[in-house]
Each structure stands twice: as C-alpha cells, then as structure tokens.
Structure 1
Amino acid sequence: MKILVHISRIIVGALFIFSGFVKLVDPIGSQYKFEEYFAEGVLNMEFLIPYALIFSIILIVAEILLGVMILIGYKPKTTVWSLFLLTLVFLFLTWYSAYYNKVTDCGCFGDAVKLSTWGTFYKNIYLIAFIIILVIGVKHIKPLFGGKIPKLITFLSLGIFMFIVQHVLTHLPIIDFRAYAIGKNLEKGMEFPEDGSIPPVHDFMLEDAQSDLAPILLKKEKVMLVIIYNLEKVDKNGFPAIKNITTKAKEKGYTVYGVSASFTDDLILAKEKHNLPFDFLFCDETTLKTVIRANPGVIILDKGTVTQKKNWIDVDEIIL
C-alpha cells in the first residue's frame, strides 16, 4: 500500500502542477471558459460572469499549489481532501460538458493539450481513483523535508504563482500555446489537417463593408492590427498609446487596421473621439479573444506570420 500511495502521490502532484501551470501562464483563457460555463445555455448562472476572472485565478493557483503540497508532503490530510473535492468539481463539469455537449473544450489543460469532452471526463475518473488511494493511505504521506521547510516552500510557491498571474494579466501570456502565437503563419494554420479536423486557425476573417480582406492582408509584408474585441470592455487608457504607435507605423509604410466585433457606428464614434488614424474591420469576438489576450492589443504580421504581439501597455516596445 505504501508504494502505491507514493506512486499515486507523484502522478497526482505532477498532473496538478502541469495542469495548473499551463493555465497559470494564461489565466484569461480560463476566465473565458468560466464565462462559457456560467452562460444562460449552460449552467445559467450569468450573475457570476463578472467574477469569472477571480474564479479562474483562485482555481488555477489552488490547483498548482495543491500539486506542490502533495509532492512535498505539506499538511497531507488537508491537501488530500482538497484535491478530492476539487477533482469532484472537475468531474461534474466535464461530465456535464460531455453528456449535454456543452463547452466542448473544458480548458482543463489550457490551450496546451486538447482532449475530447468524454476523454477529459475519463481522465478525471482515473485521477480521482489515484486520489482515493491517497485518501485511504494518507498516513503514508510524509514531508520530504524536516522542520519548516515544507511550509516555506508552500508560501514561496504561492508568492511566485501570484507574481506570474499579475505579470501575465498586465502584459501577455508567458507561453502562448495558441495558433496565433509569435512565429505562427496564419495561412498555414488555415489549412485543413489530413484527418479532416477543423484547422487551428478558423473564423479568422477581416471584413469591411464589401468583402473579407484577410486573404489580401495575409500576403502583405507590413501589417499592424489593433485588436479591440469588444468596445464596451476596452481599456480606454490604452487609446493614447494605440494612437501613437499606429501613427508611427503608418509613417513607416505599415498597413494599419483596427479589428473588432463591436457595432460599426460605435467604432466610428470611438475613432473620432480618440482621433485614431485607422479604419476598423470586423471579426468574430471569440476569434479575437483567441488572437491576443488584450483589449486593446496589437499584433504585427509579415506575409501572414505573426512577428510581434503586445498588450497596449507595452506597444512602445514594438520594433517597426
């Protein structure tokens, strides 16, 4: 039993740390998943949507911290029961998603690893089996270090995790697992895989009043896109910086467009109010949220390849 507990401890700890880390570097992605779950057509708890980011941060930090705690053996009873209860929540959500075909990507591993809804549910079945072993054999879980070292490691880890959260919310994800990451070519991302599945880049259209300009813009060498996925939620403090960088970009021969899912009339008013030197194109809001975790944010394209991405607070770092 002792050996089985140690094996389960390593598996559970490693899985929770990995799962937590890939979401820790991009908590806004988890925020969007919570918003999907809270929506009317899923759990019908729309009053919780404004708190989705808080929920995501608490869940992510708890997940990765519990992984650390079980590995180092800090407060084993509290840790094991917390893991059990947290996994029960995951189990319910993944079952609900699979059975009712809601939120088809639960985001359990962020954008790093994609599993089917039933695949994710069965993963949690195996996971809770390992945790039950830990519950039964909790007396065999001993601290790896003596004295106050486990406590020190736990609180030091918590501080590091909170620092990472603050950093990525202020700037952009430390690691970008999405199809719009720096170095990715969007045209290649639109190609259908041999298995016939949906391509990584889909629904990426840059529409004006007449047509989709994406095929044209993805051929150009110097393209700057200002992403404002929702004008009502935009950080208006970013407009002066956006105006400054886009003005400089146009002077250096860049093709510059704003891209948004908001209404055209509202965008025209915003352009006039903030004296923005570019016109807006339309794109799906979900797609824009995937392109960049900023509102507003800026991406630079060179023949369809993403060369730079910045939150508005960092646009002065863009190399033109």
Structure 2
Amino acid sequence: MKNGALWFCRIAVGILFIFSGLIKANDPLGFSYKLEEYFEVFHIMFLSNLALLFAILLCAMEMVLGFALLIGVRSKKVALGLLLLIIFFAFLTFYSAAFKVVQTCGCFGDAIPLTPWQSFSKDLVLLLLIIVIFKNKEHIKPIFAPKTGERLLLLSVVLSVGFGFFTYSFLPVIDFLPYKVGANIPDEMKTPPGAMPDQFELTYYLKNKKTGETKSMTDKEYLQTGIWKDNNWEIVGDPKSKLIKKGFTPKIIDLAINDAQRNDYTKELLNNPFYSLWIVAYDLKKTDGAAINRLNALAANLTANFNMRTILLTSASPAEAAAFAAKYHLISEIFYADGVPLKEMIRSNPGIMLIKNGTIVNKWHYHTVPDYDHLVKEYLQKQ
C-alpha cells in the first residue's frame, strides 16, 4: 500500500513537472516576459537581461527533475530539488494572488491560463505529494541500472536545455497565442452576438443623516430593500465595483495600429484583400540589424515586382523609429502599436508575418525568413 502510494506520487508529480516545463519551454521568450514581471514586482530589474536564460534553465530543471523522479535516479537530491522548487513556486503564486500583482503566473504558459489562486491551489496539492516523496525518498527504487539511469539523466538535461534554445531560435513548435497561423485577426477581436458580458456587483456605502449610522449594501440589496426611497439615507463616496462573473472576452482586445500622427490604420491594414508583409519589431533597440537588412531587401523586391504593401510595426517612439529607418534605409511604411500585442504576434525581434484579408497566412522567425523566390512560388503565383 505504501509503495503504491509512493508510485502514485512519483507518477503524478513527474508527469506534471515534465508537462509544465515542456509547455513553457515551447515558448521560453513568452515565459521570460512573465519572469520580467516578477522582477519588476520584487524590484530586481537588474536581472531582466538574464530573464531568457533563467526561463530556459528553469523549464529544463522542471523537466529534468520530473524525468529523474520517474526513473528513480538520484532520488535524495531530486526529492530535495522538487521540494525547494515547489515551495518557491507556491510563494510566487500566493504573492501574486494575495497582492494582485501578476495576474497570470505562466505555470502552463499560454496553453492553460490559470488565475493566481488556481495556480496556488495547484501548487499546494503538488506540495503535499512532494512531501510524501521527500519523506519516503529512501524507498524510491530506480527502474534502470545505475549507468543507464545516469546516461538517461544526462540525455534529459541536453534535450531539455536544447529544446528551449531551439524554440527560442525558431518559434514555438505549437503556437497557443491568438496570432497563430490561420487566425483571422478581425474575427479574434469581435464579440459574438448574445455573448455574456462581464457581470459586476456594486457596493454602496450609506449614511443616515439623522442618526449618523452607516452601512454598506450591494446594488441588488439597495433596490430590494427600497432604502433609496428613504431621504434620511444618502450614498457616501463612490460605489465599489467587483467582478462576480467573467463574461466572454475576445482573444485580441488591445490591438490598435497608428501612424506617427496617431491616425488609426487598424481597419485599413487588416481589411487589405491582397498580401501584405508585416515586419514586427517591438523593441528597435534589441532588433537584429542583419535581419533587418535582409528583410529590407526582401521588402524592396516584393514592392517593386508585386506592389506588395510592406510595413514595419513597432512600439518605439516615432523619433526612434525615424532614426532606425534612416540607419537601415527602410522602404517599408512605419506604424505603431503597443508592445504587448506585438510580443504576442511573433516571438522574434524582428519577425515577419504574411497577412491577407486580416488572416495570418504564415509567419517566420528572422532565422528562418524565406527568400524572395520561395515567397513568390509558394504564395504570390497562386493568388
């Protein structure tokens, strides 16, 4: 019975840690953005430049510890590592929930968004399971011979770290973001007819003019009791609004594309019935210059031979963008959007998206940008 319970804990914790690490390693750049939020909360922004490295290594650590637990290698060190890691995660999720600072922890990346309290509850369950493992670490038996187990452990380290660097360099294997290939951006911004909106509850603070008595009541109680008819009671201050039920939320809610004069071009660009090439570079200070030169040459050929509209989309200031355009002799039009949707569009700086009728036909990391002949043969000759 005891051995069965231990095996249950090993399998549950091992699989969950591998899954959690793998999902985040699929998008390490996105996880690094989440780490930067925590760095800001704890006032350790000097670590921001290391966020990506931390993201890749933390994901790898989760996968390696989970795998090591399943095969039973180095049980004492693995059990201790799991315990320290889950205590660390539980602290972060509790802090996020209690102080409402980071509202999505990123535990399972963008694949399974969890609220801070949901994440904390999950961590508490894991903590209980890991305590069982830690207390019974001497009873964890390896399922392979010692040398085989060590080799498999080393292989898991190489594969786990390598997978994180691979997805960072060539985009996530599976895209869980709203701007994935095949998505129609205007449709993702719409709220369907009849969709349930967010439901809020108002709390009024009342004071009796004669007696000085104070009380609070919800908007429903305010109407049901008929206290609003009594002139002796007055509302003091502003009512407090509380979300009681989450309604439908479009996948894309924050995309607005403007020119330097703040004229809105969102609809014009998304309603273009022809192919257009979007070069997305949310942070021009970190944008790869060699990639920009290649993309600029590609844009020049597409514009000259197919009259394709090419744009550079950035969150930089107009002055910074103008200096950047002059430095690289850009031929693309420059438009501006908030950095959050630009980071969601593509995990690359720069990255390119091929858009038609607001639909993302394809997108590429700057390491895998197709050449002019491929684009023409694959897309433009077929339109």
Normalising TM by the smaller chain, what interval? over 0.9
Aligned match of 1:168: 167
Q: Quote the Cα distance in structure 1 between the aligned partners of 2:150 and 2:248.
A: 47
Correspondences of 1:183-262 after superposition (within 5 Å): 183-192=182-191, 194-195=195-196, 196-208=247-259, 209-220=261-272, 221-250=274-303, 251-262=305-316
Quick one: distance in 2 between partners of 1:306 and 1:31? 25
Decide whether the 8 Å contact of 1:241 with 1:313 is kept in 2. Answer: no
Matched, 1:35 2:36: yes
- 2:29 counterpart letter in structure 1: I
Describe the superposition over 1:193-245 as per-residue Cα deviations: whole angstroms up to 9, x where unpaired: 73424321121111112532122222223121111101112121212111112
Cα offset, 1:134, TM superposition: 0.6
Equivalents in 1 of 2:72, 2:306: separation in Å?
A: 58
Tell me what 2:76 maps to.
Answer: 77
Residue ranges of structure 2 left out of the alignment (5+ in a row): 197-246, 377-383
Output the CA distance in 2 between the equivalents of 1:105 and 1:172.
22
The aligned amino acid for 1:63 is E
Q: C-alpha separation between the residues in 2 aligned to 1:45 and 1:9?
A: 35
- Counterpart of 1:112, as a letter, is A
Say whether the 8 Å CA contact 2:354–2:363 is kept in structure 1.
Answer: yes
Separation (CA, whole Å) in 2 of partners of 1:23 and 1:300: 26
CA distance in 2, matches of 1:300, 1:38: 34
Secondary structure at 2:70's aligned position in 1? helix
The separation in 2 between residues aligned to 1:79 and 1:94, in whole angstroms, is: 22
1:266 counterpart residue number:
320
Greater Rg over alpha carbons, structure: 2
Q: Does 1:123 align with 2:122?
A: yes
CA distance in 2, matches of 1:130, 1:210: 54
Structure 1 stretch 139-148 or stretch 17-26: which is displaced more? 139-148
Paired residue type of 1:269: A
Give the superposition deviation at 1:273.
Answer: 1.7
- Which stretch of the first structure deviates more once superposed, 27-36 or 199-208? 199-208
Q: Which residue is 2:235 aligned to? A: none
The answer to which of 191-200 and 283-292 deviates more is 191-200
User: 1:84 offset after TM fit, Å?
Assistant: 0.6
Partners of 2:74 and 2:366 in 1: how far apart?
Answer: 42
Inter-partner Cα distance in structure 2 for 1:92 and 1:204: 33
Number of the residue aligned with 1:146: 145
Report the secondary structure of 2:353's partner residue: strand
CA contact (8 A) 1:222 1:253 kept: no
Determine which structure has greater relative contact order: mean sequence separation of CA pairs < 8 Å that are 6+ residues apart, divided by chain length: 1
Q: CA shift at 1:257, angstroms? A: 0.9
1:64 maps to which residue? 63
* 2:78 matches 1:22: no
Q: Which moved more, 1:204-213 or 1:94-103?
A: 204-213
* Aligned equivalent of 1:11: 12
Give, in angstroms, the shift of residue 184 of structure 1: 1.5
Report the count of equivalent residues. Answer: 318
In the TM superposition, residue 105 of structure 1 has moved relative to its aligned partner by 0.8
SS of corresponding position for 1:240? helix
TM-score normalised by L of structure 2: 0.80
1:245 and 1:316 in contact (8 A); partners too: no
Q: Is the 8 A contact 2:56 2:165 kept in 1?
A: no
Give the unaligned 5+ runs of structure 1.
Answer: none
Instruction: Look up the SS of the partner of 1:90 in the other structure.
Output: helix
**1:283 matched to which residue of 2?**
337
Greater strand fraction, Structure 1 or Structure 2:
2
CA distance in 2, matches of 1:253, 1:124: 54
Distance 1:95 1:285 in 2: 28
